[in-house]
Amino acid sequence: MNAVNPPLTIRMRDEDNVAIVANDGGLPAGTVLPAGVPGAGLVLRDKVPQGHKVALTDFAEGDVVLRYGVPIGYALKAIPAGSWVHERLLQMPSARALEGLPLATVTPPVHAPLDGYTFEGYRNADGSVGTRNILAITTTVQCVAGVVAQAVARIKAELLPLYPNVDDVIGLEHSYGCGVAIDAPDAIIPIRTLKNISLNPNFGGEVMVVSLGCEKLQPARLLPPGSFPITDERGADAGPETVCLQDDAHVGFMSMLDDILQTAKPHLERLNARRRETVPASELIVGVQCGGSDAFSGVTANPAVGFCADLLVRAGATVMFSENTEVRDAVEQLTSRAANAEVAEAIIRELGWYDRYLDRGRVDRAANTTPGNKAGGLSNIAEKAMGSIIKSGSSAISHVLSPGEKLRRDQRGLVYAATPASDFICGTLQLAAGMNLHIFTTGRGTPYGLAECPVVKVATRSDLARRWHDLMDINAGRIADGEATIEETGWAMFQFLLDVASGRKKTWAEHWKLHNALVLFNPAPVT
Ligand code: CA
C-alpha cells in the first residue's frame, strides 16, 4: 500500500452501485477502503486495476449495474461487494429504441453570457475566422498525391521563406476520387466533405486544385461555380483554379511541379498580406472528440471539456460534438436536451441512419470498444457512451449536421455533427464542418494531430500526462488527484484555447508536426 496515496475510489452519482479505483497501479486484494471514499469499510476481494470498477454492494445474477446513474450492464452471476466488476461479468444493455424518445423536454440551465473574451485571428472574406493561415492544395483524386507531396516540399523549401506570414502549406490528400460509384446516393458524403474541407476557415478562401484529368471526381463536380468566393481577378462564376496533370502543356514531371508552384504564388501572396486581428471568442468553432478512452475519460477530461464547452457557448462560440456510436446509448439525454423538436428529430434521423449503416455490415454499436478501452476499465459501449457525451457540457443542442456538411454562419452554440467515432474520420468531418480548433481527450494516449487545425490534447490521468509530458497539452488527471477541480481545469482549457487560437501558443502536436491523414467517410460502394 502506498502511504502517500491512500486508497481512492470515485463514484459519479449517489445512486451508482459501483465506483472506480483512482490509484495509479490499482489496489491489491485485501485493501480496506478508508473512511470518506465511496465504499468506505469494504475489503477488496480482488486486485482492482486503476480505472476499473469495484462492487459497492452484493449483486445477484441479473441485477443492474449503475454508473453515471444509468444501467451500464447486468450481472451475469452473483458478484459480492468488494469484487472487481470487469466486462466478463456484465451483460450489456440493449440500445434504446429510437421510437418514443422525449423531444426537447429538458430546459438546460441558463448561464449568463460571457462577454469580452477575444482572440487574434485571420478574418476571411465570408466572415469566418481562421486560427491559422495555411495554403491548402485541394486534390480531386489519390492519383495526384505523390506529385502534390513533392510540390508541397518544394513550396516549403523555395517559396514559404518569401511569405513569412503564411503558417504552412499542405496537400489535402485522400483516397477518394476514382474507382468509386460516384452517382451512388451516399457518395454525396465524401464529395461534400472534400469540398467543405477546402473551404475551412484556416485556409483563407484561397482554393487551388490539382487534378489528374480522367478521374470521376472532376474539379467542377467537386467545387461547382459559386460554391466558394473567388479571391483573384477571375469572375464569380469561374470554377476552381486547377492544375491538371494530364494537360497537354505538361511535358515531363518537372513541368507539373513548376505549374503547381507558379499557381501557388498569388495565393501565397494574398495569404501573406493578411494579419491577425482581434475578434470575439464567438468566432471559434471548436470540435471536441475523444480517442483511446479509459474509465477516467468520463471522470476527469471529458467533464472538464464539458465545462469548457459551456464557457465557449456562453461566449457565443460554436462547439461541435460527434461520434455516433459513442452517443447512441445516451440518445435519450440528447433528444431531451435538443433546443426544439426539429433538432431532436434530426438527432434521431442521423442515429437511425447510422444504426442501419452498421446493420448493413452486420454489426452494431458494440463494435466500437477497443481492447485498450476494456483494459482501461470501460466494460462496454454503454459505459463508454455515458463518459463520452459529458464532453458536450450542459447547453441545449441547437443544430445537427449530417456527415460532411458545413456549418452556416448563423448556426452557433452546441452542435451535434453526426460522424463515426473513428478519430481520423471524425476529425476529417469536423474539419469539413468548419472547425478551426480541436480538443481531443485521451486516457490510453494517442499522438493524434492534424495539419489543418491545432489539436489540443487532454490527458485523463496524471500518469499518462507525466509519461507523455511532451505530447499532452492539458492534464485533467489532476482532478482525480484532488489537485484541481473540474471548473478550474475547464477555465484553464478555455484560456489555453484562446492562446492557441491566437497563435500565442502552439500545441504539442503542432510543435512536433504530428499530422494524421484525412480519412473520408465513404459509405457508398467502390468499383
Ligand atoms: Ca474518437
SS3 content of the chain, % helix, strand, coil (to 5): 35, 20, 50
Mean pLDDT of the chain: 95
Q: How confident is the model at residue 276, as a pLDDT?
A: 98
Centre of ligand 1 to C-alpha 326, Å, is: 8
Strand partners, 208: 137, 241
- Name 255's Cβ contacts closer than 8 Å, sequence gap at least 6: 249
Mind listing the pLDDT tens digit for each residue in 489-513? 999 999 999 999 999 999 999 999 9
Centre of ligand 1 to C-alpha 45, Å, is: 34
Answer yes or no: is pLDDT of 3 > 90: no
> 264 to each of 114, 144, 232, 502, how far by Cα in Å?
40, 16, 12, 25
Residue linked to cell 505530447:
471
CATH of region 1-91, choose from 2.30.130.110, 3.40.350.10, 3.40.50.300, 3.40.50.2300 = 2.30.130.110
Tell which residue, 279, 307, 340, 354, has the closest CA to residue 458: 307
Centre of ligand 1 to C-alpha 518, Å, is: 14
Centre of ligand 1 to C-alpha 421, Å, is: 4
Centre of ligand 1 to C-alpha 238, Å, is: 38
Answer yes or no: is pLDDT of 40 > 80: yes
Tell which residue, 497, 494, 517, has the closest CA to residue 505: 497
- DSSP labels, 294-339: -TTTTTTHHHHHHHHHHHHHHTT-EEEE--HHHHGGGHHHHHHHBS
Could you tell me if 116 and 314 are in contact, meaning their C-beta atoms sit under 8 angstroms apart?
Answer: no
CA distance 131 to 196: 17
Query: How many alpha carbons fall within 13 Å on the CB side of residue 223?
Result: 27
Mind listing the pLDDT tens digit for each residue in 462-482? 999 999 999 999 999 999 988
Q: How confident is the model at residue 225, as a pLDDT?
A: 82
Centre of ligand 1 to C-alpha 507, Å, is: 19
pTM: 0.95
DSSP H or E stretch at residue 268: helix 253-272
Centre of ligand 1 to C-alpha 289, Å, is: 5
Assign 101 to helix, strand or coil.
Answer: coil
Centre of ligand 1 to C-alpha 440, Å, is: 8
Mind listing the pLDDT tens digit for each residue in 243-282? 999 999 999 999 999 999 999 999 999 999 999 999 999 9
Percent of the chain with pLDDT over 70: 99
Compute the average pLDDT of residues 157-180. Answer: 98
- Name 65's Cβ contacts closer than 8 Å, sequence gap at least 6: 17, 18, 53, 59, 71, 72, 73, 74, 75, 85, 90
